[in-house]
Structure 1
Amino acid sequence: MGFFTTAAGDYDRHIGRYGRALARELIAAAEVQPGARVLDVGCGPGALTAALLAHGATVAAIDPSEPFATACAKRHPAADVRVGAAESLPFADSAFDATLAQLVVNFMADAQAGVCEMIRVTRPGGVVAAAVWDYADGMTILRAFWDAAKTIDPDAADESQMRYCTPDALADLWADLADVHVREANVRADYESFEDLWAPLESGVAPSGAFTVNLASEPRAALKRELRTRLAVGDEPFALTARAWVVTGRT
C-alpha cells in the first residue's frame, strides 16, 4: 500500500476531510462508552483516534504506514500508537472493550485474518466494528473520480471492485460475531474550490492519487478537466457528501 506512505497532511486534505465526521458515526454505532478501552485498527493519521479521545476513551492505535502512525502519535500523545498490521496485532487477548477499524478493512492484506485478530483482542461481549466507503455509489468524490478516470483509461482499477465494500460482504466478514448489524452513515466535507480538492491527488495519496501521478501530463490534465466537469464545481466553496457502510458485532 505505497499510496499510504505519503505525508499525513496530503491524506488529511484528501479523504481525511471526512474522517472526523465518519469517526463520530462509527463511535455511535459501536456504542462506545466514555472510559472504554478501545483499539483503533488502521488508524492512519488519527481521525478516529482523535474522536475516541474526545469521547473519553482510553485509546491504543496501530497502522502499517510508519509516516501515518508517526503523525498519529505526534498529534495524540495520550494514545498508545504503534506500527503494525491488523493481521498480527501486538496486544493481549481480551485487552479492549471495543475494536474499531475506519476505512481499512478493504485494504487489509487478509481481511478475514484481520477481523479474527480484532475479535481476539476484544473482551467477551465487546464490540468489533468497521466503516467502509460505499465506493459503488454514495462516496461522491471517489465515484466521480473513477468515472472520470475510466474516460482516460477504461481499465482503471475502480475501488468499487475491492472486496468488503457492500453491506452483504461486510455482514459475511462479521459472521463469527453475534448481533451483527450493517447500517449507512452519511457525512460531508467542505472545499474552498476545485483546486483545493485536486491538489492532494497530485501527491499520490490513496489509490486515486496513485492513479493520478502515474499519468503523463496531458492525460492528467484531461482527467482534471473531466473530474471538474463531473462534479460541476468551480472556484467557489462547495461541499460533497459521502456514504459509508458501518458494520458492528459483539464477541
Structure 2
Amino acid sequence: MYNTDFPANADLPSAGRLVRSTVIAGASALAILVTVVLPSEYGIDPTGFGRLTGLTTMGQIKMQLAEEAAADEALSAAVAAGTAIPSPAPLAASPDTQQLAARVDALESLVLELQPAQLPPVVAASETAPVPTAPVPVAPVPMQQAAAPATLPTPAPVAAPQWRDEVTFTLTPMEGTEYKLVMQAGAVATYEFVVDGGVINFDAHGEGEGQSLTYEEGRGVASDAGEMVPPVSGTHGWFFRNRGTEDVVVTLRTGGDYQELRKLI
C-alpha cells in the first residue's frame, strides 16, 4: 500500500537538534533583517553594513520617494476638493535686522535735522544790484550755412519682464526638492532652470482632477527651458534631485499664466 518505508526512530532528529536548528534559523533571519532589510527598505543601519554596501542610500531614497508620493496625493486631493492651499508663513524679522532698521531710522532723522542748516541763505532779488554787461556782437549767419535741427533718436520700447518668479536653492548630495505651479487647464507657463556646480536629475509632472501626468524626465542635465500646458487643472511642476557628490545651486525662473509657484518639498 505504501511506496516508501517509514523512517526508523533512530533516523528522526532529536528534540535538541530541532531546537538548535530553530535557534540557528531565527538568528540568521534576525541578522538578515538587521544587515539587509532595514537598511535597504527603511534606511535604518544599526550595524554600518548598509553604508558599506550602499543599501542605506537605497533605503533612504525609497523612504523619501514614499514621502513625496504621499505629499503629492494629499495635494491632489486638496486641489480636487477645491481646498485652498495654505500660503507659506512670512519670515519673522531677526533681532539683528530690527537693530539695523533702528540705526537706519536714526541716521535718516539726523540727516533731516542737519539738512536745513547746511543750505545756503536765499538772497532776495531786490537786494542784488544789476551788473551791466556789454552786448556781444553776433555775426549774421547765411541762410545756406544754418545747421539743420538735430533729430533725437526714438527710444526703443522697453520689453515687459519675461519671468514672474525666480527662486534659487542649494541641493546637497542625494537631496531633492519639488516646486509646482498652480494652473488651470489649457494655461501656458514658461520656465527655465540653470544648475551651477554640477548637474541634476529632474522629473516634470502634474496632478489634478484625479489624474497623474508625466511630462518629461531628465538625467544629468545642467539646464533646461520650455513651456508647460497642462490638460487638467491642478499643480504642475518639477522634482529636482542631486545625484552627485558635491553641492549644486539651482536657479528656477517661471512666467506665463499661473496662479502661483509653490515649494512642496
Scaled by the length of structure 2, what TM-score is found? Answer: 0.23
Give the TM-score taking structure 1 as reference length.
0.24
Instruction: Choose between structure 1 and 2: higher helix proportion.
Output: 1
Which of 1 and 2 has higher RCO (CA within 8 Å, sep 6+)?
1
